[in-house]
Amino acid sequence: MEYRKFAEIPEKVSLLGFGGMRFPVRDDQPENIVEEGVQALIDHARERGITYFDTAYSYHGGRSEEVLSGALRKYPRNSYYLADKLPIWLIKEAADTEKYFMEQLERCQTEYFDFYLVHSLDRYKYEICEKYHVYDALKRFRSEGRIRHLGFSFHDTPEILEKIVSDHTWDFAQIQLNYLDWEMQDAKGQYEILESRGIPCIVMEPNRGGALTSLPESSAKFLKEVHPERSLGSWAIRFAASKPGVLCVLSGMESEAVVDENAATVTGVTPFDEREERAVGQAVDMFLKNKMIPCTGCAYCRECPKQVNIPKIFAAYNQYLVGKDNFQFYNAYSKLKAEERAGNCIGCRKCIEHCPQGIRITEELDMIQKLVVRINEIRPSNWGEM
């Protein structure tokens, strides 16, 4: 395991971090975490040298904090770093910052957070942050020792990022960085702003919610031609880890095998050479030609009042795009409960307010519902009923 530190973060932090947003669950229910499975994963991560563990108030319907901190409790508190995030969208008055912060300390049964972030800042959430003097409250908690390092996670343009880091002094920042978003969402511009200011970068979504571990063959072939022995996921992890301004790369790892592979990938990391850069560029070009929906499966949109399962619908559609296979799509879509399907969308657009990727969700659901109708009209009878 490789470890990094910066002047602002003097502790040695494992280059690979464990993300608490995608724990194994039962019955596809985010709150129904398989706790014994999480314990085994955390134990294995600790054995492989991982010291950075990340959670948030909203992950797994509010249960991630409790389960993650519970799994870590068997270890000395000074042997790992716990990161948590303030749900800025819930702040309605100045007193709410302390209210939620104290609730999180209680959930995690800890006296302090090593890394604490304002969650998912964009131009609108930053207005909330400023209106209710959130930074000032968190700065006070830091002076009291209840926060060791203060930062924010971010989903917006480099211009908004520039304003946020100019207005206040931050110890670190977390951005979505992967080789697909390097140009598509200008992660390059965001990273360069942080690097130029000496602000350590925590990377989220290095695999873009798994999209870069299951590339369509038309994209994957360029990477396999260069390194046929390497997994697709290792390319994505290494791309992020090779950036010198990166302190830690977060990954939501659902098996010990993935922990092992990612830990090996971040050991002795080297930058991409010219041939590897070209292969990644070709893979991205082909990926974009497929016009896949850029969903990471973060499930922030699951606040849907009609309970439409947006991430699973988009996953089924993206798989359909790989081979234009009607049966594959029909088979995956049929596994959704009736109330979870695209036709139940009422166009309230609440999902769009929560989507960090800026996806036009209601329009995409309408397009997918039309595809469902079309396939229903032509499907053979032996496909069964949807």
- Residue 250 is part of a domain; what is its CATH number? 3.20.20.100
Give the dihedral of Cα atoms 89, 144, 15, 157; nearest 10 deg: 30
Residue 320 placed within a domain: yes
pLDDT recorded at residue 306: 82
First to last CA, the chain: 48
pLDDT recorded at residue 356: 81
Which of 287, 320, 344 is the last residue in one of the domains?
287
Residue 139 placed within a domain: yes
Which of 254, 287, 320 is the last residue in one of the domains?
287
333 and 280 in a common domain: no
184 and 100 in a common domain: yes
DSSP state at residue 368: H
Residue 293 placed within a domain: no
323 and 232 in a common domain: no
314 and 247 in a common domain: no
Instruction: Tell me the C-alpha distance between 321 and 329, whole Å.
Output: 9
Q: Which amino acid is at 136?
A: D
Q: What's the number of domains the chain is made of?
A: 2
Instruction: Tell me the C-alpha distance between 66 and 73, whole Å.
Output: 10
Instruction: Tell me the C-alpha distance between 128 and 159, whole Å.
Output: 18
pLDDT recorded at residue 312: 86
pTM for this structure?
0.85
Residue 295 placed within a domain: no
21 and 145 in a common domain: yes
Of 370, 313, 359, the closest CA to residue 339 belongs to: 313
350 and 241 in a common domain: no
Instruction: Tell me the C-alpha distance between 304 and 294, whole Å.
Output: 19
Model pLDDT for residues 241-268, shown as the tens digit of each residue: 999 999 999 999 989 999 999 999 999 9
Of 148, 198, 144, 205, the closest CA to residue 178 belongs to: 205
321 and 248 in a common domain: no
Residue 46 placed within a domain: yes
pLDDT recorded at residue 384: 66
pLDDT recorded at residue 314: 84
pLDDT recorded at residue 322: 63
Token pair in block for residue 348:
């309230």
Residue 24 placed within a domain: yes
Q: Which residue has the tokens 């879509």?
A: 333
Residue 128 placed within a domain: yes
Q: Are 306 and 340 in contact (CB under 8 A)?
A: no
Residue 294 placed within a domain: no
340 and 214 in a common domain: no
138 and 7 in a common domain: yes
Q: Which amino acid is at 45?
A: A
The parent domain of residue 359 ranges over 310-378
pLDDT recorded at residue 54: 97
CA–chain centroid gap for 128, Å, is 22
353 and 214 in a common domain: no
Half-sphere exposure of 185 (CA within 13 A, CB side): 21
279 and 314 in a common domain: no
Q: How many angstroms separate the Cα of 100 from the Cα of each of 56, 85, 138, 312?
A: 11, 10, 11, 30
338 and 219 in a common domain: no
The low-confidence residues of the chain, meaning pLDDT below 50, are none
